[in-house]
Chains A and B, each alone.
Chain A
Amino acid sequence: MSMLELRQVSKSYGQGANEVDAISDIDLIVERGSLVAIMGPSGSGKSTLLTIAGSLEEPTTGDVMIDGTRLSGMSRNDKARLRRRTVGYVFQDFNLLAGLTAVENVSLPLELDGVSQRKARAKGMAALEGLGLAERALNFPDQLSGGERQRVAIARAVVGERSLLLADEPSGALDSVNGEAVMRMILAACHGGVAAVVVTHDAKLASWADRVVFLRDGKAVDETLPPPSPEELLNPDVTNPA
């Protein structure tokens, strides 16, 4: 079953003559275990698409389903619970809380969801361990490097049973080797069954995805073909349109 499904989703801002379509008629299905990248220039609607997929914003028209549940029929509280339990976000600037240690940052969403502090901390530690950060668990964000901060942000996004990871330019200002490490972690989460959507303008990051969707002026204009079979890789003429 698909983890995320957008059907004919549109979002416009303003009214009347000032109305602007941020995205229009977007259809997108992301299966469990798969990584989809959304590429497009600034202002093409990438971030709007992500905030709507994560139920942080309402679409003007169309349906969003997370794990088979239609968001439009849900109460505010139910949506908030779904976000805490199912959806993890990774932002360009990491958004870690400066006054909390790495493990406190990671376990916070679980505690907010009513998990006991002890259990939440154990799960937070497990998530940090999984990303090779166990020895940095008690450090505060300003004691971590940019790459480590981003790993903490990813640990927070996948902690517990969360199964949909949404990332907006997740490598931020990291260099390309650290950026690659971030994508490897997101991919590892996908191999563990998480569905991930990564929004980026960076083709090197997007190339980690199973599928790349190209956005232009708020519309999904194109997408990559499924990866070639080994036979096609050995015979490049099959995939070369030239």
Chain B
Amino acid sequence: MSIRHSLLALLSEGPKYGFQLRQEFESSTGEVWPLNVGQVYTTLQRLERDGLAQSDDVEEDERQKNYRITEKGSEELSHWLRTPPDLSEPPRDELVIKVLVASRLTNVNVYDVIQVHRRYIVQLMQQWTHLKEDESRFDLAFALAVDAELFRLDAVVSWLDSADGRLHRAELEPAPQDHVALPSIRRRTGAHR
């Protein structure tokens, strides 16, 4: 979550004070990501240092300063919006590691392990869905942010389901004995961002 670029986006609408930026940031992200006002002032100082935002006010007190975006800031914002985040490297996912470890241990039922995680994630999804059920008709940003979380969690459940099915199939059709494990392949996808 880039606070820096989100603040630049808000400043691109016109000059603003720190307190105002914090309020607008929270409402534009459906209040899913709370932000403290200290983070806002620190970020504004860095934006100013880097020439991306500017304040014409000379007050020492950050609360009194009105910031606006610079031309360099607008260019930076436009570039950031169009640059896909780096998704080419698989994240070191703790849940994946737990299931991989459980699948190797003979004294652990891997399906029970999978179900514990599946239930927990579905419960989390129920909480998000119930929040969305109440709020989303009135708050589009909130619905979008909650959808992102639901899709992320849904992908985890889908992976657990697929792992469950794959492990089952492997039990029914064990790999041939003469199968030689390939040396581990490290591959980085080469798509240009």
Q: Which residues of A are interface residues toward B (Cβ below 8 A)?
A: 39, 41, 176, 184, 187, 201-204, 206-209, 212, 214, 216, 221-225, 227-228, 233, 239-241
Contacts and interface: CB of A to CB of B under 8 A. Distances in A.
Interface of B: 111, 115-116, 118-123, 125-130, 133, 147, 150-151, 153-154, 157-158, 161, 164-165
Contacts of B153: 203
A207 B119 contact: no
B9 to A, nearest CB: 25
Contact of B154 (A204, A214, A222): A204
Nearest to A233: B127
Closest 4 CB pairs of A and B: A207-B125, A203-B157, A207-B129, A207-B126
Given A203-B153, A214-B115, A208 B133 contact: yes
A222 to B, nearest CB: 5
A233 B133 CA distance: 15
A222 B126 contact: no
A179 to B, nearest CB: 11
B133 A221 contact: no
Contacts of B128: 207
A207 B122 contact: yes
Contacts of B118: 214
A204 B154 CA distance: 6
A224 B129 contact: no
B122 A203 contact: yes
A209 B121 CA distance: 14
A41 B164 contact: yes
Contact of A203 (B127, B147, B154): B154
Given A208-B133, A221-B115, A39 B127 contact: no
B161 A41 contact: yes
Given A207-B126, A208-B133, A223-B119, 8 more contacts: A176-B147, A184-B133, A187-B133, A202-B154, A203-B125, A207-B122, A224-B119, A227-B127
A207 B121 CA distance: 10
A201 B125 contact: no
A209 B123 CA distance: 10
Contacts of A209: 126
A216 to B, nearest CB: 8
Contact of B122 (A216, A224, A228): A224
Contacts of B119: 212, 214, 222-224
B115 A239 contact: no
A16 B62 CA distance: 82
A37 to B, nearest CB: 9
Contacts of A184: 133
A183 B171 CA distance: 36
A198 to B, nearest CB: 13
A39 B164 contact: no
Nearest to A224: B123
17 contacts: A187-B133, A201-B161, A202-B154, A203-B121, A203-B122, A203-B154, A204-B150, A207-B125, A207-B128, A212-B119, A214-B115, A221-B115, A222-B115, A223-B119, A224-B122, A227-B127, A240-B120
B122 to A, nearest CB: 5
Centre residue among B127, B158, B164 by max chain A CB count within 10 A: B127
A222 B120 CA distance: 11
